[in-house]
């Protein structure tokens, strides 16, 4: 049953969520936007897909993997994210495949992921950089979501996308969405354009597997500056580094675009230049991941396209690699 | 028109074998965003564009080419960076053909709003900060120059933008901390900077690990302060770092402050003459030493 969440009831709903969950939603973060802890009275930024991705909540930039026991018991509420876009939710679903759905299970990730509630915001107006439909998602996709909200007049039509979502909606008992509201939500969905279908990914993984040594890589990487904007802003990139300090063992984000990422103790570096590093990034997303886990490790959120200092557009890279042939 | 002349000359250079590759700008996939093209044939050269969306500093690519002869399109700021690269023996001037272009200034995409027209002056609302202080290198190192060579030369001393960097130390530290909070250490600033050509940056060392991989402001501070010091007398104020930064950190305030110090204490202005001695590589008995206590 579709329910209706009135805009006027939003504050109360969020306050209730925050009692049982460590609630996050889109807001201002480090001079840009990201998912921030919800506090009463904050300005709503639900119309905006944040610059920083939701992965930070589950895979923080820096986390302590082990530390000396300080004897204090640690308790925490599960995470909830209100207003997450379908692309970011899909990304967490992909991270689950890596960190919990195959052995060995990653403890710290699983701990954060356990019981987390994703209340998603449908995306009726995708940006020029969006291409979620190309990689199997869509502006109304519910993969990874518990509840999907679709903006209508005065509020949102809410539909459960999982058992946890059903339970949550049951417990909230918002009024049933009227026929008009449901029709409006349906119309939004129908008119939402499929985003950037011009790149054909069918069969690309196999093609890429056979083209590791192809000369095209020589040219493709040429304009890449070798920074980590694309990887750090990617909701599915999850490579990390582990460092020991005198107090703890830390896990921090790392990027395959950095030479240090693959530098051996001997001084040898198997990915010597930008060519090898960029090839790895593309291969991981569109070859290795799909061949092993049957999904692209890209959700088409377009952040890497929007932020690349030299406009190295992954859609064009895929097209050039034969995705559209 | 500059763009037509540019295509024609680049095509000629490639066709007649005067260069092996020509680095320029091409139309990007987003509004107000150009991309980079490495043209290797006269046909490729037809992709070249030049307009206010051409914001990256292409001199950054030059040290990668050790054997090939390279043509490159340079704005005044890129040319100043080229002067430094030649001075520091990272680029062989005999292997580079620089085509200078008259530049109306470039767009900072963070200031740009959808619908701004490139044809009339509307885009100037989004003019990059660095472009407010444009100056030409004194030495003529260009293969040719397209358009007029008319660029306002500002007093370098006036180039320190008003930021709390000049306030008392507490206010300055608050400002600096807030800027550093934003940094995600993606190193886009370093990678976009022509003067940051070290094959191994100090941040890329793990023994000793000068900078910890932990994402916290002190680590970002260390990186940016060391980078600023390494750029003393070498930064040419092109602003490529600030435009590459996805977090809109006010990097120019740091670098301009350093540049102003070089001018004030040593009368030194970078990016002017590749044959002049470098600031850090030269010494004079008359150098200011009032900071030595």
Categorise residue A226: left if φ over 0, alpha if ψ from -120 to 50, beta otherwise: left
**B288: in domain:** no
Residue-level length of chain A: 325
Q: Are strands A62-67 and A248-253 parallel, antiparallel or unpaired?
A: antiparallel
Model confidence at A68, pLDDT cuts 50, 70, 90, reads: low
CA distance B45 to B22: 8
- Is the domain of B41 the same as that of B121? yes
Can you give the pLDDT at residue B150?
Answer: 59
Instruction: List pLDDT tens digits, range B252-266.
Output: 999 988 888 888 888
Q: The pTM is what? A: 0.90
For residue B146, list its beta bridge partners: B101
Chain A residue at shortest CA distance from B110: A307
The pLDDT of A21-28, averaged and rounded, is 93
- Is the domain of B48 the same as that of B20? yes
- Is the domain of B113 the same as that of B189? no
Interface check A264 vs B, CB under 8 A: no
Q: Are the C-beta atoms of residues B40 and B20 closer than 8 Å to each other?
A: yes
Top-confidence residue, B125 or B168: B125
- Is the domain of B112 the same as that of B207? no
- Is the domain of B106 the same as that of B211? no
**B274: in domain:** no
Can you give the pLDDT at residue B245?
Answer: 96
Mean pLDDT estimate for chain A: 91
- Is the domain of B28 the same as that of B131? yes
Our count of domains for chain B comes to: 2
- Is the domain of B35 the same as that of B138? yes
Q: Judge whether residue A31 has pLDDT over 90.
A: no
Q: Are the C-beta atoms of residues B97 and B19 closer than 8 Å to each other?
A: yes
CA distances from B86 to B28, B58, B59, B99 (A): 29, 14, 11, 16
Residue B194 belongs to domain spanning: 158-266
CA angle A66, A69, A74 (to 5 degrees): 85
Q: Are the C-beta atoms of residues A84 and A35 closer than 8 Å to each other?
A: yes
Q: Judge whether residue B153 has pLDDT over 60.
A: no
Can you give the pLDDT at residue B265?
Answer: 86
Instruction: List pLDDT tens digits, range A266-312.
Output: 989 999 999 999 999 999 999 999 999 989 999 999 999 999 999 99
**B153: in domain:** no
Can you give the pLDDT at residue A194?
Answer: 64
- Is the domain of B113 the same as that of B179? no
**B183: in domain:** yes
Chain A residue at shortest CA distance from B186: A228
Share of chain A above pLDDT 90, in %: 75
CA distances from B77 to B29, B80, B161, B271 (A): 24, 5, 17, 8
* Residue B41: how many other CB atoms lie within 10 Å: 12
Chain B residue at shortest CA distance from A262: B204
Model confidence at B293, pLDDT cuts 50, 70, 90, reads: confident
Categorise residue B58: left if φ over 0, alpha if ψ from -120 to 50, beta otherwise: alpha
CA distance A234 to A302: 9
A252 with B36: Cβ contact below 8 A: no
B246 with A250: Cβ contact below 8 A: no
Interface check A260 vs B, CB under 8 A: yes
- Is the domain of B103 the same as that of B190? no
Q: Judge whether residue B20 has pLDDT over 90.
A: yes
- Is the domain of B41 the same as that of B132? yes
Model confidence at A325, pLDDT cuts 50, 70, 90, reads: very low
CA distance A86 to A99: 20
Can you give the pLDDT at residue B145?
Answer: 86
Interface predicted TM-score (ipTM) of this complex, two decimals: 0.92
The pLDDT of B225-242, averaged and rounded, is 94
- Is the domain of B41 the same as that of B131? yes
Contacts B184 to A, Cβ<8 Å: 30, 61, 232
The pLDDT of A253-265, averaged and rounded, is 93
B247 with A31: Cβ contact below 8 A: yes
C-alpha torsion angle, residues B250, B252, B257, B261 (rounded to 10): 160
Among residues B79, B113, B146, the one where a domain terminates is B146
DSSP structural state of residue B40: -
Two structure tokens written together for A103: 């052995």
Can you give the pLDDT at residue A324?
Answer: 45
Interface check B31 vs A, CB under 8 A: yes
**B290: in domain:** no
The pLDDT of B260-281, averaged and rounded, is 88
Contacts A312 to B, Cβ<8 Å: 35
Contacts B29 to A, Cβ<8 Å: 305, 311, 313, 315-316
Instruction: List pLDDT tens digits, range B25-53.
Output: 999 999 999 999 999 999 999 999 999 99
Can you give the pLDDT at residue A67?
Answer: 73
CATH classification of the domain holding B176: 1.10.1060
Among residues B146, B174, B198, the one where a domain terminates is B146
- Is the domain of B22 the same as that of B102? yes
**B287: in domain:** no
**B17: in domain:** yes
Instruction: List pLDDT tens digits, range B96-142.
Output: 999 999 888 899 988 888 888 888 788 888 988 888 877 776 667 88
Can you give the pLDDT at residue B263?
Answer: 86
Residue-level length of chain B: 293
Instruction: List pLDDT tens digits, range A143-169.
Output: 999 999 999 999 999 999 999 999 999
CA distance B178 to chain A (A): 8
**B103: in domain:** yes
Q: How many helices (H) and strands (E) does chain B have?
A: 7, 6
């Amino acid at each position: 049953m579709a329910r209706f969440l009135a805009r006027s009831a939003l504050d109360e709903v969020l306050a209730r969520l925050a009692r049982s969950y460590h609630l996050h939603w889109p807001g201002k973060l480090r001079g840009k936007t990201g998912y921030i802890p919800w506090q009463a009275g904050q300005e709503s930024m639900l119309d905006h897909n944040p610059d920083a991705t939701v992965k930070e909540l589950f895979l923080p930039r820096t986390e302590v993997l082990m530390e000396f026991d300080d004897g204090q018991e640690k308790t925490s509420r599960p995470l909830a994210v209100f207003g997450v876009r379908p692309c970011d939710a899909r990304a967490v679903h992909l991270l689950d495949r890596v960190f919990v759905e195959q052995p060995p299970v990653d403890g710290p990730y699983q701990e954060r992921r356990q019981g987390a509630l994703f209340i998603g915001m449908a995306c009726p107006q995708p940006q020029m950089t969006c291409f979620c439909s190309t990689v199997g998602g869509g502006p109304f996709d519910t993969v990874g979501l518990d509840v999907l909200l679709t903006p209508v007049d005065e509020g949102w039509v809410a539909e459960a996308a999982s058992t946890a979502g059903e339970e949550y909606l049951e417990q909230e008992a918002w009024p049933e969405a009227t026929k008009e509201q449901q029709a409006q939500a349906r119309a939004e969905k129908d008119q939402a354009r499929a985003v950037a279908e011009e790149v054909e990914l069918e069969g690309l993984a196999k093609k890429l597997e056979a083209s590791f040594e192809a000369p095209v890589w020589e040219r493709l990487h040429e304009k890449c500056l070798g920074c980590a904007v694309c990887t750090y802003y990617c909701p599915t990139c999850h490579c990390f580094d582990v460092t020991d300090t005198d107090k703890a063992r830390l896990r921090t984000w790392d990027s395959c675009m950095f030479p240090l990422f693959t530098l051996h103790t001997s001084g040898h570096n198997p990915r010597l230049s930008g060519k090898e590093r960029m090839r790895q990034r593309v291969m991981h997303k569109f070859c290795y991941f799909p061949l092993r886990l049957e999904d692209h490790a890209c959700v088409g959120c377009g952040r890497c396209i929007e932020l690349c200092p030299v406009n190295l557009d992954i859609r064009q890279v895929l097209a050039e690699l034969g995705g559209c042939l | 028109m500059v763009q037509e002349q540019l295509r024609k000359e680049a095509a000629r250079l490639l066709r007649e074998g005067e260069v092996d590759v020509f680095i320029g700008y091409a139309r990007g996939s987003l509004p107000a965003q150009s991309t980079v093209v490495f043209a290797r044939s006269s046909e490729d050269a037809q992709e070249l564009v030049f307009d206010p969306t051409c914001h990256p500093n292409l001199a950054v690519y030059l040290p990668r080419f050790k054997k090939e002869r390279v043509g490159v399109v340079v704005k005044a700021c890129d040319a100043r960076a080229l002067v430094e690269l030649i001075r520091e023996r990272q680029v062989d001037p005999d292997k580079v053909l620089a085509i200078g272009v008259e530049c109306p200034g470039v767009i900072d995409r963070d200031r740009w709003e959808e619908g701004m027209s490139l044809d009339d002056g509307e885009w100037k609302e989004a003019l990059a900060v660095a472009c407010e202080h444009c100056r030409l290198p004194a030495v003529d190192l260009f293969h040719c120059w397209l358009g007029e060579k008319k660029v306002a030369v500002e007093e370098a001393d006036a180039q320190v933008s008003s930021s709390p960097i000049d306030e008392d130390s507490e206010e300055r530290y608050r400002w600096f901390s807030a800027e550093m909070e934003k940094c995600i250490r993606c190193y886009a600033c370093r990678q976009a900077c022509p003067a940051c050509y070290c094959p191994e940056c100090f941040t890329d060392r793990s023994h000793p690990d000068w900078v910890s991989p932990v994402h916290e402001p002190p680590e970002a501070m260390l990186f940016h302060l060391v980078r600023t010091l390494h750029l003393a007398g070498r930064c040419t104020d092109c602003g490529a770092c600030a435009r590459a930064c996805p977090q809109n950190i006010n990097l120019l305030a740091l670098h301009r402050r350093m540049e102003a110090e070089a001018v004030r204490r040593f009368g030194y202005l970078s990016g002017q003459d590749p044959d002049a001695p470098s600031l850090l590589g030269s010494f004079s008995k008359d150098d200011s030493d009032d900071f030595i206590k």
